[in-house]
Amino acid sequence: MNQPRILIIDDSKAIRLAVRSTLSRAGFDVIEARDGEQGREIITSQSDISLVLCDVNMPRLNGLSMVELIKADPSHAELPVVMLTTEGEPAMVRRARAAGARGWIVKPFKDDVLVATVRRLAQAGCEQAAK
């Protein structure tokens, strides 16, 4: 059985490394993008992604705009996206939800909480990727 593939989009290499380390130990296959633009390119070119973890404040294309662009494409409507950010402003959370994000985690995150959230939401993404 293939491991669910998780895309982490963050301009911080340290965060990408931490997420990769945590999720790899939990049995996920993790791929990385360093900003929203690169993340969008990967999402549109790879159909086997089960879930996206996405930062908000990033160069080139920020996370909220990226989610809005991705979710405007019906083929990505079911792809779970969870924002992983230092931001906790309610207006931003509402914007992400309106765009179609499935969750919001405020950094710094706890490893077990990240794994539980990804495990819970990745199932829907796996089913979409299998279609």
Partner 1 sequence: MTHHVSPEAAIDLDVVWGPMRLDKPSASLSSEALQADLDGCTAEVLASHGIRVARDRRVGDLGIASVIGFTGEGLAGALGLATTDPTLATLYARSMGSPGDLAAHSDWLRELSNQVLGRLKGRLLTKGYAIHLAIPQSVRGMSLVPNESRRSHIAWTVLTSPAGVVLAWLDLETSDAMAAEAGPSVAPSESGDVIIF
Residues near partner 1 (CB under 8 A): 11-15, 17-18, 21, 57-59, 85-90, 93, 96-97, 101-110, 113, 117, 120-121
| Closest to partner 1 by CB, 47 or 86 | 86
- The minimum distance between CB 17 and partner 1, in angstroms, equals 7
- The minimum distance between CB 130 and partner 1, in angstroms, equals 22
| Closest to partner 1 by CB, 17 or 48 | 17
| Closest to partner 1 by CB, 2 or 106 | 106
Q: Where are the beta strands (DSSP E) in 1-131?
A: 5-9, 29-33, 49-54, 81-85, 103-106
- The minimum distance between CB 69 and partner 1, in angstroms, equals 18
| Closest to partner 1 by CB, 48 or 93 | 93
- The minimum distance between CB 5 and partner 1, in angstroms, equals 21
Question: Do the Cβ atoms of 43 and 73 come closer than 8 Å?
Answer: no
Question: Do the Cβ atoms of 54 and 70 come closer than 8 Å?
Answer: no
